[in-house]
Amino acid sequence: MVNIQMFKAFVVLVVLNSPVPMQLEDMKGLYDTPFECYVRASTMIKDATKKVPIISATALCLSVGKDTPKEKSKEKTIEKTT
């Protein structure tokens, strides 16, 4: 297995008249670099400002490992016995 480091964008928003913060998760995909991830998160914040009155916004880019097999792997089946 080869471990490829990728980044996923999240945004936490505090919205006017909302008792709890909102969390947005990027559904477009994973990013190769933290810079690309933060650019996407900033776009998410900009889009959110068009829809709701935002008091505060925080961008997060979390590192996620993506395991890629070097060669075709065989599928394993686990059977449950009772």
CA-based torsion, 48, 36, 12, 24: positive or negative: positive
Confidence band for 4, pLDDT divided at 50, 70 and 90:
confident
| pTM for this entry | 0.72
CB 2, CB 50: distance < 8 Å: no
> How would you label 40-50 residue by residue, b for 16+ Cβ within 10 Å and e otherwise?
bbeebbeebee
pLDDT at 69 over 80: no
Express each pLDDT in 33-52 by its tens digit: 999 999 999 999 999 999 99
Confidence band for 71, pLDDT divided at 50, 70 and 90:
very low
